[in-house]
Amino acid sequence: MKKSFNTEEQKTTGHSQWSNRGVFLLVAIGSAVGLGNIWKFPYIVGENGGGAFVLVYLLCIVLVGVPVLIAEIALGKSAQSNPVSAFSNLAVACKANRFWALFGYVGIISGFLILSFYSVVAGWSLEYLRVFIQNDLLGSDARAVEQYFTQLLASPNTLLLWHSVFMLLTVAIAARGVRKGIEKIITWSMPILFVILVILVLYATQLEGFSKAFDYLFVVDFSKLTTDGVLIALGHSFFTLSLGMGAMMVYGSYLQKDTPVVKLSFMIAIADTLVALMAGLAIFPLIFTYGLQSASGPSLLFISLPNALLNLPFGQFFGIAFFFLLLIAALSSAISILEPVLSFVQQKTRLSRRFTAYLIGSIVWLIGISALLAFNNWSDVHLLGERNIFDSLDYVTTNILLPLGGFGISIFAVWVVSKQSSTRKLLGISDSKYPIWRISAGIIAPIVIGVIAWNGLS
């Protein structure tokens, strides 16, 4: 690729722009839909007892997720710049303290840390894609399938190979630019993702475990819900909508200034939720048909699911489809985790987008190596309490940095930016929706986030 920055996509403002709103919708959904929906959501539903947890999760999306999502996109769109400058420029415009930019920096740090362990897990899906293509597990019994995953985690070289491949894919796409890279790849990959998911759900409806899975997800039994479950649901509503680190903010900054954001935010949240529920409807019927455990935790997709697939007609085909789906979902999210960091460093240093992407990618790749070694050679290295490096990265970001970022974003949007009538207009939230958004993003969300953070720290 030759120098493609500073082409027509940036002609008017010096800042990139999406081709149109539909494209924005797709890339934002691409960011939201990821390992969080397909890997994490089913297993935390399994660990927290099913229907009641799903209901609480839906409430969190509506009460906290959507208002913060609106705030994030609106801030980015008003500022038309990377998250750090968005905070500082808007703070200046509102005559507020520039320390608000600290929240932008929190997002930049979160980006490095989240992407490093995200890439390791995405690497597992690459390995399973290979396994299903080559049919390596053919004829294995349940024990052998379980051992396969245990052995994968014990092999630093295999983990390193796939982590590197995944990072390289992510960086190569991002390096090509907002339009020529991100937009181009996601406008074809998201439709494929939806088609595969629909096929997988239709397949699952044919299995005898389907009705049990349906009841499991949608019949509410509050006796199974714990306080911990409520907090996990809250934290996950953040992670799954890509909130709290400026990913949605930077995507919003590539929107035209007159774009209304409320409707788009609802559409993103609805699509993301549908995909999570459909992932549950695609996975649990297989698990139940084979009488496997729904509460098996993070290995649900890498032990229980392959086990079920091995026993099903066309299992190899659906295995390939499933892990390919997981890969494109992870890739479109990873690109969005990189983008705030990339746009910040690029705007600050004026280096080329391509060079910056590879530079940041290398740093993330290095941190990721320490995360994958946590499963084997460095399993004795504890960072935070008893947590190994991988768990510490996950913990610090999901429980501390993202809630902190989300807290700052919603307070700043409601109590600073929307206080001034000139900047309030820039947000693009219509008068009829404004009071509800103000209460939900300015009061309800910060309180709820405060509770998550409190729990995360205690």
DSSP string of 243-276, one letter each residue: -SSSHHHHHHHTS-TT---HHHHHHHHHHHHHHH
Over the window 277 to 316, marking each residue x when it contacts ligand TRP by CB under 6 A and - when it does not, the resulting string is ----------------------------------------
Least gap, CB of 33 to ligand TRP (angstroms): 7
> Residue 320: left (phi > 0), alpha (psi -120 to 50), or beta?
alpha
For residue 356, which of 186, 181, 114, 161 has the smallest C-alpha distance?
181
Q: Closer to ligand TRP by CB, 28 or 94: give it.
A: 28
Q: Check residue 337 for interaction with ligand TRP (CB under 6 A).
A: yes
Least gap, CB of 235 to ligand TRP (angstroms): 10
Give the footprint of ligand TRP on residues 7-36 (CB under 6 A): 31-32, 34-36
Least gap, CB of 151 to ligand TRP (angstroms): 26
CA distances from 348 to 113, 262, 360 (A): 20, 30, 14
Q: Closer to ligand TRP by CB, 88 or 273: give it.
A: 273
Residues 381/385/388/389 CA torsion (nearest 10 deg): -90
Sign of CA dihedral 145, 149, 150, 156: positive
For residue 365, which of 126, 170, 153, 154 has the smallest C-alpha distance?
170
Least gap, CB of 268 to ligand TRP (angstroms): 10
Q: Check residue 321 for interaction with ligand TRP (CB under 6 A).
A: no
Give the footprint of ligand TRP on residues 243-282 (CB under 6 A): 244-245, 247
- Tokens encoding 358: 């590879």
- The residue range among 60-68, 217-225, 242-250, 364-372 that interacts with ligand TRP, by the rule CB under 6 A, is 242-250
Q: Is 99 helix (H, G, I), strand (E, B) or coil?
A: helix
For residue 255, which of 431, 35, 21, 29 has the smallest C-alpha distance?
21
Q: Check residue 410 for interaction with ligand TRP (CB under 6 A).
A: no
For residue 111, which of 397, 453, 403, 408 has the smallest C-alpha distance?
397
Least gap, CB of 247 to ligand TRP (angstroms): 4
Least gap, CB of 415 to ligand TRP (angstroms): 23
Q: Which residues contact ligand TRP by CB under 6 A?
A: 31-32, 34-37, 114, 239-240, 242, 244-245, 247, 333, 336-337, 402
